[in-house]
A and B are shown apart, each in its own frame.
Chain A
Amino acid sequence: MGQLLPIVNEYLSVMEEDVEINDLQLNYYYRDTLLAGSDGGENYAELVKCLQPKKHLKSHDAAQLLTTLKSLSEVVSYIDPIQHESLLSSLSRLSLWDYAPTDRKYDAAADIMDALLELIVSLAASKGIYVDFCLELLVKHFVPPKYAFEFLKNENGVGMKNKVLSRVHAALKHIADLVPLAPLRLSPIVVHSMPKRFAKEPEIVMYVENMLMLESGEIGEIVGGTMLPALVDKLIELDVEIGWDGKLQEDAKCIFAMEIQDFADFEDDDEKYYSMCTTELLNRNNLQGNQVAEKLDSLIVLTFLHLESCQSKGRLAEVFDILLTSFKRTVLNTYKSKFAQFVMFYACALDSEGCGVNFAMVLTEMFDSRVNPPITRMSAVAYLASYLSRAKFLSSELVANIIQRLVDWCFAYCKLHDFDMNPQAHQVFYSACQAIMYILCFRMKSLMEVPRLKVKLIKMPMELIWKHKLNPLKVCLPSVVEEFLKQAKAARLFMSAELFIFDDLLEADLSKAFGGINRLDMFFPFDPCLLKKSESYLRPHFVRWSKVRTTYDTYANEELSDSGSEASDDDFVDMNAKDMNDYDMAGSVEAGLDFDPDLNKMSITPKSMKYGFQAQTEGRMPSNIRLSTTTESFV
């Protein structure tokens, strides 16, 4: 027993009554036992019994188990799936987690774990039919048994976890070396074995950790293309589980009586704000919903961390391509996905020049492509609008170029369609119009500050679009239209003989009637993330409405102080680069005074005082436009 540890040898020598035997002889003993089959009598029964998991493993049993596992791995080719069914069944019940807790008295646990994995690997390589069985055995170890979660909370928990998982992943790699096509089979097994959405948070989080380990591991090249899309699908699954559309129906009557809330009154009273949100949350969401949100939050954070590690390894672009495919396949067409899309946002934030620009261009292409169904195009342009508005890391140049493309498309559409207003028939057109207005609500000021971009903006044939018979201003979301016109007026766009062309629309107090039942139902996917942990990662890269410098603010200030802002677009970019945490799009104005992001979760919500927030009468642009949203915070 030269290969065994001295301590095990000692126990074994006692067991064998001082008779020393070598490995080869032992192997032949087990081989003969296997050849005799399940009808082979006591030897086989003893073998099966030895492999059965025991609650309290004595040193004698441990030594016997270790010896058996090692010898079996040398004679795996004699294991028959039919004859030795009970043996395989016992083997499948053995868990590495049982041997993970460190026991000072007997430290052969690590050897047993290694021997078990060696047997699994040998079994996988011995016959093709065992590959799936062995892969399933290993994947089963991604999540510990329920009792082991308690151990993981101990101070040695991390060590114990690493002890098991590092071995499991090494075994998977070893199988992939011996059976090159095994990773192709592993992918569906991993996806299929994913915990269901009802699973507890630690369980699902740990499983996803393993999936991400696989993705970034040595066999990630093969399985990576499956792991991330599966994770995104799981995020979507949890996302849609957090339903708030039902609540919306209750408030349907109020939808058209929207107003803009401002939380300024609560700036000095964070606790009050939080407590009120929580109360509302508890009133409107049951515990199940809350738990789902927490699970989703943890998984999104895990994905963010994975993206960061990918960036440090220089493989973010590769991962981004997979995410993008997954995004186009599932997230984009999910009806009002609330949080899953922030994975894309964060990936873009980590590589603004590459992924950030790429994402914007892909969305533009998707909108532009006639091959895509209208619903996909509308969704793409909604994502585009929200992304360009909220992404702090995008340059004004890029934003201006994309606005130009959208305006050109709308203009061409107007020329081809000389019809009256019809929201149903021209959904894509109205979506594009709303996107243009929404982006400009956020970006007009920064674009107007750069002379080159200002000229570009003025030259765009927007006026013709707004005045067209299709009448987009009466179909698009009222608050967006109102804010857009307000800023356009302040920026002196659409002026004719010193008069604002759309003054009648702006001052006629028609905002609540805009669109009426034909109002364009839209959503803005990158509204502030309501998941607490995820939000903290997004915060440095995210533009909040409260920090946006509007054109009317500045002009009002100019009139008051007669000292124009000298901030330029370049300054804006530099400023972002300097300190993302402290400044944002409007960082030069009142940065830090009312920074608490939670205070800026403004939204267009039904006109109701039930949240305890005072209605703001100044009519500011909402940062969180969510037609079907009444929830402010989940966590």
Chain B
Amino acid sequence: MEGLKVSKSNLVVYIHPSQSNQVSKAVLRELSTLLFTYDEIFDGVVLAYYVDSLDKCAKVLPGVYPYFGVNLKVNMLLFSPKPDMLLEGKVEKVTPEVIIVIVLGFATAIITEKDIRGEFKFTMKHGVFASKYHKRHVIKKGTMLRFSVKSFDEEQIYVYGSLVPDNTGNIQWLDKNLEVVSHTDRKIYRSTKKRENEGKPLRSDKDALELSTVDTPQKLKMSKKQKVREES
């Protein structure tokens, strides 16, 4: 999985004078406020930190409250997904419209219908996305999924993902059948590329509607009047 990085940082933590008797605790408390929030300076969401060294000399700030700045070196584990990176997570919900994935147990990733490659088809009967070419390649609740990052909402910590690339899908299945996938999907990939080059979206909303109304196994039930007409 990509999107994780360790960053070594030199920080100055300003401590309130009332905390002077428990500096270590105060520093940790201050660092903990960074957890699970996106920080522009670190360019990522802080997942964990490790105080590498704590400078024993602190600089006292002049002012009404003489805060003192403690210098420290911290190793930080950051979650910083960028477009086209491959992330992994556990599928929490599958609907015809969206797949919701939880990444690293804290970040929500959304993969909408239009970002799921045509190979996958939602079956109403089982409530899962299944590959048209590989029957065992199924995406359902609980599946560990690999997907690519489309965009990342830093403020809300939401990942918008995509299952368009071939190397995305059910991790368990991909690990077992990676070569087969690359071989069989080559043709599909070419045809997809061709369609893209022609300037047509993979599955436009209208296509999807047509597909559903024409090709879907769940054909629309005709009205009773129509049935009667046809029979007559």
Interface residues of A (CB under 8 A from B): 18-22, 24-25, 27-28, 31-32, 35, 74-77, 122, 125-129, 131, 177-181, 184, 371
Q: Are A77 and B98 in contact (CB under 8 A)?
A: yes
Beyond A128-B155, A128-B157, whether A24 also contacts B223 by CB under 8 A is no
Enumerate chain B residues within 8 angstroms of A27, measured Cβ to Cβ: 96-97
A75 to B157: give the CA distance in the assembly, Å. Answer: 22
> Can you list 6 A-B pairs, Cβ within 8 angstroms, ordered by A?
A18-B225, A35-B205, A122-B95, A125-B93, A125-B108, A129-B156
In the assembled complex, how far is the CB of residue B209 from the closest CB belonging to chain A, in whole angstroms? 5
Q: Are B223 and A178 in contact (CB under 8 A)?
A: no
Enumerate chain B residues within 8 angstroms of A18, measured Cβ to Cβ: 223-225
Interface stretch of the complex, out of B46-54, B142-150, B181-189, B211-219: B211-219
A25 to B211: give the CA distance in the assembly, Å. Answer: 11
3 smallest CB-CB distances across A and B, nearest first, come from A128-B156, A128-B158, A19-B223
Q: Are A126 and B110 in contact (CB under 8 A)?
A: yes
Enumerate chain B residues within 8 angstroms of A32, measured Cβ to Cβ: 205, 209
Give residues of chain B (200-222) contacting chain A, Cβ–Cβ below 8 Å. Answer: 205, 208-209, 212-213, 216, 218, 220-222
Contact pick for A77, options B97, B102, B156, B216, CB 8 Å:
B97
Contact pick for A126, options B98, B212, B221, CB 8 Å:
B98
Q: Are A181 and B157 in contact (CB under 8 A)?
A: yes
Q: Are B218 and A128 in contact (CB under 8 A)?
A: no
Q: Are A24 and B216 in contact (CB under 8 A)?
A: yes
Q: B198 at the A/B interface (Cβ < 8 Å)?
A: no
Residue of A nearest to B93 (CB): A178
Enumerate chain B residues within 8 angstroms of A178, measured Cβ to Cβ: 92-93, 100, 102, 108
Enumerate chain A residues within 8 angstroms of B158, measured Cβ to Cβ: 127-128
Contact pick for A22, options B92, B209, B220, CB 8 Å:
B220
Q: Are B95 and A180 in contact (CB under 8 A)?
A: no
Q: Are A179 and B96 in contact (CB under 8 A)?
A: no
Enumerate chain A residues within 8 angstroms of B224, measured Cβ to Cβ: 18, 20
Q: Are B220 and A21 in contact (CB under 8 A)?
A: yes
Contact pick for A177, options B92, B98, B153, B218, CB 8 Å:
B92
A56 to B212: give the CA distance in the assembly, Å. Answer: 37
A177 to B108: give the CA distance in the assembly, Å. Answer: 10
Enumerate chain A residues within 8 angstroms of B208, measured Cβ to Cβ: 28
A179 to B105: give the CA distance in the assembly, Å. Answer: 9
In the assembled complex, how far is the CB of residue B32 from the closest CB belonging to chain A, in whole angstroms? 13
In the assembled complex, how far is the CB of residue A580 from the closest CB belonging to chain B, in whole angstroms? 39
Residue of B nearest to A127 (CB): B158
In the assembled complex, how far is the CB of residue B157 from the closest CB belonging to chain A, in whole angstroms? 6
Enumerate chain B residues within 8 angstroms of A129, measured Cβ to Cβ: 156
Residue of B nearest to A179 (CB): B108
Residue of A nearest to B122 (CB): A24
Q: Are A184 and B36 in contact (CB under 8 A)?
A: yes
